[in-house]
Amino acid sequence: MLKLALLTLIFVAISVALLCIKMLLVRGGKFSSTHIGGSKAMRKRGIHCVQSMDAMERRPNSHRVEERSRQ
């Protein structure tokens, strides 16, 4: 049981080190944005994240047509 826990801990440590290799070796290195809004292909298609889409939908519409009330 202890061998399995130690093996798992070593495996996780190596995995984290490999994921962070760019951050550790490159000056000013950072993870690229995984957010949908950070993808050029998604922006080109007009696809935004849920928060951005919600904010756009909540904005007042300057092109709306006022309805007449019945009298």
Structure-model confidence comparison of residues 52 and 8, the more confident one: 8
Give the integer Cα–Cα distance in Å for 56 and 43. 15
- Closest to 52 (Cα-Cα) out of 28, 36, 34: 36
Give the integer Cα–Cα distance in Å for 69 and 8. 70
Is residue 3 predicted with pLDDT exceeding 70? yes
pLDDT at residue number 10:
97
pLDDT at residue number 71:
64
The full set of domain ranges for the chain reads 1-25
Give the integer Cα–Cα distance in Å for 34 and 18. 18
Question: pLDDT tens-digit profile of 10-61?
Answer: 999 999 888 888 777 777 777 677 778 778 888 888 888 888 778 888 888 8
